[in-house]
Amino acid sequence: MRKSSANKVMKKTVVGITIVGKDREGIVATFTNFAFSKGGNIEKVNQNVIKGLFGMYLEVSFSKTIDVKKFDSDIQSLAKKEKMDVSTHHETNSQKNIAVLVTKEPLCLETIITNAKSLKGKISVIIGTEKTLEPLAKKAKIPFIAIEEKIQDKAEEKIIKICKQYDIDLISLARYMRILSPNFVWRYPNRIINIHPSLLPAFPGALAYAQAYERGTKIVGVTSHYVTENLDQGPIIFQDSFKVDPNDTLEKIKTKGQKLEADTLFKAMKMHLENKLEVRWRKVHIK
């Protein structure tokens, strides 16, 4: 929850609620009934179960003023009773907090930092799988935390704690070379943006440029998309491309592509933070 000196939220409040935990019967009704009991109207509900892990996202609107602190306290009490991990996201007009996840490719991060002043948000923390890009963060005076844990589930536990600590609204995967699990992704529905080096769904995976080069592709593109539990299958935000000359080397294609990646990722972040993107039926609509 965003910290505020005011306990009250103005009329027509929208609250996003994520519930993650062990799947069992009746859990959906428990939390939807809680929303109704507080005078909420359920605008959206999405639920998934994978290998016994349950995830649900509720978007609840309130036409009357609600006490945010009491709402969050009550739902956390319910979460403890039901042994579920619950978080709430309150839409406000205040500055959004951004976490940027990186590995070692610098250009996306450099572009985000260089243009940060034009974002309606603050880069609150940079999280790396290694320390390669730490100097960029230090130069920009942004906290950098390296999580070098090789077991992804354990790494994600640490990332979740950091994101809660910094009250993160948006997560940007700036060439973060790890696959996020449903346990992580379900906690930030349509709030994790990734950049992929191809025009999805073609050439999925990490070696997209090499595949394009080997196949003699005439056009190479990039795709920014919201992250879901299905790898590289989330709602597409923006796509862009460039022409490939037959004489272009693989390195030249990579150089062109990485520049386009950085620009397209930044554009998607900027539009998201300006509330200009809306996901309906797995498609992104620009408002």
Cβ atoms < 10 Å from Cβ of 8: 11
Residue 177 amino acid letter: M
- Report the pLDDT averaged over residues 117-137: 96
CB 99 within 8 A of CB 7: no
Cβ atoms < 10 Å from Cβ of 267: 14
* Element housing 72 (H / E): helix 68-82
The reply to whether 3 falls in a domain is: no
Q: Give yes or no: residues 139 and 225 share one domain.
A: yes
Catalytic residue among 153, 232, 245, 248: 232
Q: Greater confidence, 261 or 287?
A: 261
**Which of 90, 105, 136 is the C-terminal boundary of a domain?**
90
**Which of 37, 66, 90 is the C-terminal boundary of a domain?**
90
Share of the chain above pLDDT 70, in %: 93
Q: What is the DSSP letter of 95?
A: P
3-state secondary structure of 52: coil
State phi, psi for 43 to the nearest 5 degrees. Answer: -90, -40
Give the CATH number for residue 173.
3.40.50.170
* Element housing 241 (H / E): strand 236-243
Note down the domain range covering 203.
96-286
Q: Count of residues for the chain?
A: 287
Q: Give the 3-state DSSP-derived string for 96-136, with helices as H, strands as E and coil as C.
A: EEEEEEECCCCHHHHHHHHCHHHCCEEEEEEEECCCCCHHH
Q: Give yes or no: residues 123 and 256 share one domain.
A: yes
Helices 68-82, 27-37: axis angle to 10 degrees equals: 160
Give the CATH number for residue 45.
3.30.70.260
Q: Write down the pLDDT at residue 4.
A: 43
pLDDT tens profile 2-14: 444 444 444 578 8
**Which of 90, 112, 128 is the C-terminal boundary of a domain?**
90
153 is catalytic: no
Q: Write down the pLDDT at residue 231.
A: 79
- Report the pLDDT averaged over residues 95-115: 96
Q: Give yes or no: residues 144 and 12 share one domain.
A: no
222 confidence band (pLDDT: 50, 70, 90) = very high
Q: What is the pTM of this model?
A: 0.83
